[in-house]
Amino acid sequence: MNLILVTFIILLAFTSYYFGRKKALVIQSSQRLTALPKFYGYYLAAWCAAPALIIFALWSVFEPSIVKTFILQDYTDQNLTKNELQLIYTKVKALAAGTYTGNITNFLDESANKYIQLKGIANSAKVAIILAILILSLSFAYRSVQKNDRMREPVEIFLKWVLFVASLGAVLVTIGIVFSLLFEAIRFFQAVKIFDFIFGTHWYPAKTFVRDGQPDPELMKDAFGAVPLFAGTFFIAFIAMCVAIPIGLLSGIYLSEYAGRGVRKYAKPIIEILAGIPTVVYGFFAALTVGPFVKEIGNAMGLEVSAESALAAGAVMGVMIIPFISSLSDDVITAVPQNLRDGSYAMGATKSETVKKVIFPAALPGIVGSILLAVSRAVGETMIVVMASGLAANLTMNPLESTSTITAQIVVILIGDQQFGDPKTQSAFALGISLFIVTLFLNVIALSVVKKYREKYE
Amino acid sequence: MSKIKAENVNVYYGSKQALFDVSIDIAEKEVTALIGPSGCGKSTFLRCLNRMNDVIEICRVEGSIKMDNLELNSRKLDVVRLRENVGMVFQKPNPFPKTIYENVAYGPTIHGIAQSKEEMDQIVETSLKKAALWNEVKDRLDEIGTGLSGGQQQRLCIARAISVSPEVILMDEPCSALDPIATAQIEELIDDLKKEVTIVIVTHSMSQAARVSQKTGFFHLGKLIEFGPTDKIFKNPDNQQTQDYITGRFG
């Protein structure tokens, strides 16, 4: 029903576009148009579609809750709690749909009938109202077209609002996500002290699990210390950057300054393919190839190496990040004006002197920006760590041992069955928001550095 | 006395020929101006004199260019030495995004000219004085060179070019991005510099060529149409095309 209605509105809008344009051509024969003919079409189409679709959307949002209020009115005198009322309403709906399998009481049956009836009324009312609005708005718009009113401004204003609503939607979704993270995190911090979370050195949420009952507050104190996770996150990101920065930067310099056009044409896309490999593929590459390899070499040298080591995860993560740094630094180096190079060459500087003394310093802010973006990518990376560095949150600085990161622990917490309202589940939100704050911070710095760089040359 | 002697220079960009059999004698400690309409090859020729065309991948230079009997258009030539001897100033001022001091000290540093900090300070000061910039910047040598005004930046670039005491300075339309006052300052500077160095200047402004140069060469469509004393080129040229260009009938 809804689908038919929406399709009808959209088809009508298209038709009115062509109708409006045609009407404009008719008007043109007797008087000067106020805008191009297509604006007459847009005007009619916008008036046709926008009010009807807005009403349709509002109706769809409010109809269920209004119907629910009507149904539950019959139950107000029974002193039921909110949850019980919700249960009754769910039963009524199921009964109406014919999928209810429990005991059917008379009362419930009556409600279900009422529900079906209400739904029917609502549906017909919706169709009637929308048709009425279509007729009203279209006739209003048609009158202005006939009077040859100014067409361009209303259409431009309409477009401005469409764009505004789209960006508003994006902003609201972002705010919504941040707030849902925040609220859950706050609930977590009601159970666990924020001090214990930030400074605790022991992460073992599984031990707070207690069958039927509240976990012991003393246990809680020692189970949610995030220090090992932060340490592991930054440690693995550090290993990754040790791999990615030299290789990425040097290859970026090679591509932008030394490579001939032929080499560049093929080498750059090939490096960028690295960025297109799914992280899960890197993950099992790290777990099945690099991890055992590191272990073997370490054992050969007489070192104790865990099969899941921070080194393997970090190194593979570094490989994944290479294209970020090489591609971005290639771009910023290429953006250094040619006349600076000419100036340096004309002084008799060699290529490497020019790169070292003029181009690199000039491109440095952009390069720093690209490195910070790469770090925030490394901090947020999940799959490689889950697969290659293990899930035990050891507080260690030994790259040959396994360690865990914030993202990997969020995965551990949220796979399988969880209880909502359990501190263990809520801790994922606390971890999520701390990760969010860290990457946000890095991104803000990176962007402001890059911006400063742009101002310098413009 | 001839400083640079070019014979039958042909330059190609890929398959397109940009210069046709250019032969020219550039005299020592004089200002030689190269004029002509846009795209006539005068900048291309200028860039042959310090091998800046090497930077352009598709560019190929044929013919002989001799400076003090040293063949410039040879694979064996040490380009770094050549560019130490032949400085260049570009159309758009291009100071490095470094301090004023570092800009001037750039050449002496890479060629290992100064032995001590004092010597470097001396070179920077002399170069800036010769470029008539010292009084304006002596109190802010550690400020960024790109923060100066356009005219000051161009004089900084000239100071940078003369810091390694070159024998020749090439100028590629050095005043085209500057206002008349800054232009007058640069022209005055050129007049001073020619006591010590040979200057080759490419310019779009015919009055500038007439003001600063002793010899003028007129390029058109990649060919050197006429070359001679500036007075003669401007007052009594041999060639009809030169006459037309000078009087503003084309170009």
Q: Backbone phi, then psi, for A108, in 5-degree steps?
A: -65, -45
Shortest CA distance to B111 belongs to which of A352, A347, A343, A341? A347
Question: Which is it for strands B70-71 and B59-67: parallel, antiparallel or unpaired?
Answer: antiparallel
Evaluate whether B114 touches A358 at the Cβ level (below 8 Å).
no
What is the rounded average pLDDT of the residues A167-193? Answer: 91
Question: What SS3 class is residue B234?
Answer: helix
The string of DSSP codes covering A40-59 is: HHHHHHHHHHHHHHHHHHHH
Quote the pLDDT of residue A212.
56
Judged by a CB distance cut-off of 8 A, whether residue B57 touches chain A is: yes
Shortest CA distance to A228 belongs to which of A396, A388, A380? A396
Q: Backbone phi, then psi, for B148, in 5-degree steps?
A: -75, 170
Per-residue b or e along B157-191, where b marks 16 or more CB atoms closer than 10 Å to that residue's CB: bbbbbbbbbbbbbbbbbbbebbeeebbebbbebbe
Question: Which is it for strands B31-35 and B215-220: parallel, antiparallel or unpaired?
Answer: parallel
The contacts of residue A357 (CB under 8 Å, 6+ apart) are A344, A349, B96, B106, B110
Strand partners, B223: B220
The string of DSSP codes covering B10-34 is: EEEETTEEEEEEEEEEEETTSEEEE
Digit-by-digit pLDDT tens for chain B (251 residues) are 788 999 999 999 989 999 999 999 999 999 999 999 888 889 999 999 999 988 888 899 999 999 998 899 888 899 999 999 999 999 999 999 889 999 999 999 999 988 899 999 999 999 999 888 999 999 999 988 888 998 899 999 999 999 999 999 999 999 888 888 889 989 999 999 999 999 999 998 888 999 999 999 999 999 999 999 999 999 989 999 899 888 887 65
> Which of A 224-283 lie inside 8 A of B, CB atoms?
260-261
**What one-letter code names the amino acid at B87?**
G
* pLDDT surpassing 60 at residue A213: no
Q: B41 vs B46, B52, B57, CA distance in Å?
A: 9, 14, 17
Which ipTM score applies to this complex?
0.91
CA–CA separation, B205 and B36 (whole Å): 9
The contacts of residue B173 (CB under 8 Å, 6+ apart) are B43, B91, B202, B203, B204
Strand partners, B22: B9
Nearest CA in chain A to B83: A348
Judged by a CB distance cut-off of 8 A, whether residue B80 touches chain A is: yes
Per-residue b or e along A185-210, where b marks 16 or more CB atoms closer than 10 Å to that residue's CB: beebbebbeeebbeebebbebeebee
Judged by a CB distance cut-off of 8 A, whether residue A347 touches chain B is: yes
Chain B residues touching residue A339 (CB < 8 angstroms): 90, 92, 94
A361:B98 CB<8 A:
yes
Q: How many CA atoms lie within 13 A of B152 on its CB side?
A: 16
The contacts of residue A247 (CB under 8 Å, 6+ apart) are A318, A322, A326
Q: A69 vs A20, A74, A245, A360, CA distance in Å?
A: 43, 9, 61, 68
Nearest CA in chain A to B50: A346
Please tell me the total number of residues recorded for chain A in this structure: 458
Distance from CA of B88 to the nearest CA of A (A): 6
User: With pLDDT > 90 as the criterion, what percentage of chain A qualifies?
Assistant: 32
Judged by a CB distance cut-off of 8 A, whether residue A362 touches chain B is: yes
Judged by a CB distance cut-off of 8 A, whether residue B41 touches chain A is: no
Shortest CA distance to A12 belongs to which of A44, A38, A37? A44
**What one-letter code names the amino acid at A387?**
M
A66-108 pLDDT tens trace: 888 888 887 777 777 778 888 888 888 888 887 777 777 777 8
Helix axes A261-276, A310-335, angle to 10 degrees: 140
CATH for A222-457 is 1.10.3720.10
CA–CA separation, A46 and A29 (whole Å): 25
The string of DSSP codes covering A412-443 is: HHHSS---TT-HHHHHHHHHHHHHHHHHHHHH
A343:B84 CB<8 A:
no
Out of A261, A342, A349, closest to residue B94 by CB: A342
Judged by a CB distance cut-off of 8 A, whether residue A363 touches chain B is: no
* pLDDT surpassing 90 at residue A160: yes
Judged by a CB distance cut-off of 8 A, whether residue B150 touches chain A is: no
CA–CA separation, A17 and A19 (whole Å): 5
Start and end residues for every CATH 1.10.3720.10 domain found in chain A = 222-457
Chain B residues touching residue A349 (CB < 8 angstroms): 80, 106, 110
Split at pLDDT 50, 70, 90, the class of A421 is low
Nearest CA in chain A to B57: A260
Out of A341, A346, A361, closest to residue B50 by CB: A346
The DSSP call for residue B157 is H
Out of A340, A346, A362, closest to residue B88 by CB: A346
Find the angle CA(A64)-CA(A70)-CA(A73) to the nearest 5 degrees.
Answer: 135
Evaluate whether A344 touches A266 at the Cβ level (below 8 Å).
no
CA–CA separation, A50 and A72 (whole Å): 34
Shortest CA distance to A378 belongs to which of A198, A248, A185? A248
Out of A346, A361, A362, closest to residue B83 by CB: A346
Chain B residues touching residue A362 (CB < 8 angstroms): 96-97
Name the average pLDDT for chain A.
Answer: 86
Split at pLDDT 50, 70, 90, the class of A458 is very low
The DSSP call for residue B9 is E
A343:B80 CB<8 A:
no
Which of A332, A340, A347 would you mutate first to test chain B, the one with the most B CBs within 10 A?
A: A347
Quote the pLDDT of residue A316.
93
A342:B160 CB<8 A:
no
Q: Backbone phi, then psi, for B31, in 5-degree steps?
A: -105, 120
Distance from CA of B243 to the nearest CA of A (A): 34
Give me Rg for the CA atoms of chain A.
32
Out of A339, A349, A361, closest to residue B92 by CB: A339
Q: A116 vs A57, A71, A95, A123, B91, CA distance in Å?
A: 21, 10, 10, 11, 82
What is the rounded average pLDDT of the residues A395-399? Answer: 81
* pLDDT surpassing 70 at residue A216: no
